[in-house]
Structure 1
Amino acid sequence: MKKIFGLILVLALAIGLAACGSDDSNGDKNADGKDKESNTPETLVMGFVPSQDSDTIADTVEPLANRLSEEIGVEVQGKVMTNYNALVEAMGSNQVHIGFIPAFGYVLANEQYDVEVILKSIRHGSGTYKAQYLVRSDSGIESLEDLEGKIWAFGDKGSTSGYLFPASQLMEKFGYKSSAELESDFFSNITAAGGHDNAALAVMNGEADVATTFDDVRDTLEGDYPKIKEELKVIDYTDEIPNDTISVTKELDDELVQKIKDVFLSFNDDDEMIKIMNEVYNWDAIDEATDSEYDVVKETYQKFKDDISL
């Protein structure tokens, strides 16, 4: 009887040890399947927002994702989001780990979810750019004052150059206390076109009177619309805006973030990769970035925080 009891006790201990071993192995994983020590997802997701046709971007960024995957040893998937707000929220929920987001989107993501900027775009040798106001050349619109009562087209309310800086400039210039007042009292109507190119085309096609876009969206459209620079003219610009970013979620560990940064910076010496960056967002080069560079955007956002919403 004692032998039987001893055998049962040994078996019970063995089962218990096996269960503990199983629990320990699961304990090394977070709920989303990441290793707690390395904080490296099985698949890194890069998020993009269309500045052009969504299918075109999806196809274009695939070689970029593949190269990044090869270099860091982790599968990388490119994902095209519907708008900047969707991208910010996806990074907040850790569904997207690397985001190609403009300055305003970064400020929101940083404030709400501690997203970190690591890199910025360089265009025409500069880390800043301006937003422009586009109207039809035959519209008779010559100044910002002439926009009163007109239809305003912009890509997305989460866009720094498409919405935030133009809205801020117009509110200050014409004494509006909120963006809602600007939209309803100054303009006769507004339309969120879903991209800078779509906003410009809305004006060219007579669906809107003015489009606010990055400078100069017409360059990206000229191949398909050779007369666009004749048909659309720029009547004004905003102040300088920090260029768009490559930002990462707070969950990624420092070593992985450094690898991601190093790989992207190496693209400066890779004509094929820079060509892809240029095709997607007109990037000519990639440079390191710090949070303080986006203070001007934070100040603009804070000034109208209760009024400008996505």
Structure 2
Amino acid sequence: PSANTTELIAGGEAIAAKMTELTGYTIEVTVPTNYAALIEAMGSGNAQIGWLPTVPYIVAYEKGYATVGLVTLRSGADHYAFEFIVHQARVDDGTFTSFYDAATSANTADAATALAQFADKRPCYTDPLSSSGYLVPAGYLATSGISTKAGAWVQGHPTVVKSVYLSPKGEICDFGTVYVDARTAVTTDFPDVNDQVAIAFVSDPIIPNDTVSFVAGLDPTIRQNLVDALVEIASTDEGLQLLKDGGYSIGGLASVDDSFYDEYRVYLESIHFDINSYK
């Protein structure tokens, strides 16, 4: 969520109060130090409901701790895309080609054609547990048969953009992978970033949004009542404001089951992701 701990607790308690009103259940709000702690809390039975991003959810599911109930919606969509970026100087000198037309917001070539240029090049990635900053882009390349050099871990999407910006000759890396459009995050430091950093290709929306997950073994009736309450909250402007105040700027919630993540798992498997690496 995009809020600090104090805001999360205050906002979470307002959401909990509404859920209590709708279900009659007593809901206690806690904010773990990180998602790994939330996973373990669900595993030990100390947490029954968890707002988990995709990777922590996959880890919790594979450990047998949790199952998904809902996925967040943004602009009506339950998946989002990522993009490959390169320095404009590398486009100008013929090293790379931009296969993305900003005027039409569309790619001008298929993935196989666009991705081939990244073979044996060095990527900038955010961190090993970021969906759009590493896991899915790396899996996307791997499933397309593209082998790159070892990545530079630079931490954070804005830092990936800055690293590409500062690599007109590939000094830090040759290309980067970020959410769409991460360049907007660095315009204060680099006002000409849109001129210096080019979008080479944008994926289809293939990364699932965050989840609302429930502890494994939760009574099915209780689980369904909680799902129904959250869906009802997210169906009104007042409820969406409650969720926003709790750190979740979303447009709704939709019911899903674990098969929703099958395609995502293909990308994780292609890069040999180990759930035990999540800490």
| Structure-2-length-normalised TM-score | 0.68
Q: 2:153 aligns with which of 183, 190, 197?
A: 190
Deviations 1:74-130 (A, max 9, x none): 132041442x44433332222332122233332222121151111111222222222
Q: 1:241 aligns with which of 170, 190, 207?
A: 207
SS state at 2:31 partner: strand
SS state at 1:74 partner: coil
SS state at 1:132 partner: strand
- Corresponding position: 1:297 with 2:259: no
Equivalent pair of 1:105/1:159 in contact (CA under 8 Å): no
Shift of 1:258: 1.5
- Corresponding position: 1:252 with 2:218: yes
Shift of 1:230: 4.1
Q: Write 1 or 2 for the structure with the bigger share of helix.
A: 1
5 Å matches for 1:84-103? 84-103=35-54
Deviations 1:104-162 (A, max 9, x none): 332222121151111111222222222234567788676664693353224xx344333
Structure 1 equivalent of residue 60 of structure 2: 109
Q: 1:288 aligns with which of 238, 255, 269?
A: 255
Taking the aligned partners of 2:194 and 2:40, their CA distance within structure 1 comes to 39
Structure 1 equivalent of residue 227 of structure 2: 261
Shift of 1:165: 0.8
Aligned residue type for 1:170: L
Taking the aligned partners of 1:80 and 1:223, their CA distance within structure 2 comes to 33
Structure number with bigger Rg = 1
What root-mean-square deviation, in Å, do the aligned CA atoms of Structure 1 and Structure 2 show?
A: 3.8
SS state at 2:126 partner: strand
Shift of 1:284: 0.7
Q: Give the number of equivalent residue pairs.
A: 243
Taking the aligned partners of 1:67 and 1:226, their CA distance within structure 2 comes to 44
Flag structure 2 segments of 5+ consecutive residues without an equivalent: 99-114, 167-171
Worse overlay, 241-250 or 52-61: 52-61
Q: Which one has more relative contact order, counting CA pairs under 8 Å at least 6 apart? A: 2
Equivalent pair of 1:118/1:288 in contact (CA under 8 Å): yes
Taking the aligned partners of 2:13 and 2:90, their CA distance within structure 1 comes to 41
| Structure-1-length-normalised TM-score | 0.62
Structure 2 equivalent of residue 77 of structure 1: 29
Worse overlay, 208-217 or 108-117: 208-217
